[in-house]
Structure 1
Amino acid sequence: MTSPSASGTCVGLADQGWAGRVRSAVNTHASGAVLSRAKTASGPYRVEAGTAVTALNAFVPPSVRVPA
């Protein structure tokens, strides 16, 4: 798994009303995004551009890092 760009932005999902509710992810951006365990940490799920993660199972990310 590659790391996200340093120029990305980390978005707290609770701040957006998604705390504990994320079960899948779709990335419609032209660059990859990373679902994170902590607001400043990367991984463990990288969602490549134009792809989806349909089942995160027990992993409930509190944040996502998106490209700038």
Structure 2
Amino acid sequence: MDLRIENMTCGGCVRSVTKAIQSVDPAAKIETNPTARAVKLETTASPAAVLQALDEAGFPAATN
């Protein structure tokens, strides 16, 4: 799953995004690029669950 998170701009944001994703799938493989505001994600969680967790953490995401 590829995501775009407009307000992920720094290392602190990356930690928060990672924590939010891991709250729905602790085994998720996550690659973040705050410069591009992009996340590549391998997860068994549903896209809706991931997007909801990110939204609740203050990092609304759009799928690419």
The TM-score normalised by the length of structure 2 is 0.32
Structure showing the higher strand proportion among its residues: 1
Whichever of the two has the greater Rg, that structure is 1
Structure showing the higher helix proportion among its residues: 2
The TM-score normalised by the length of structure 1 is 0.31
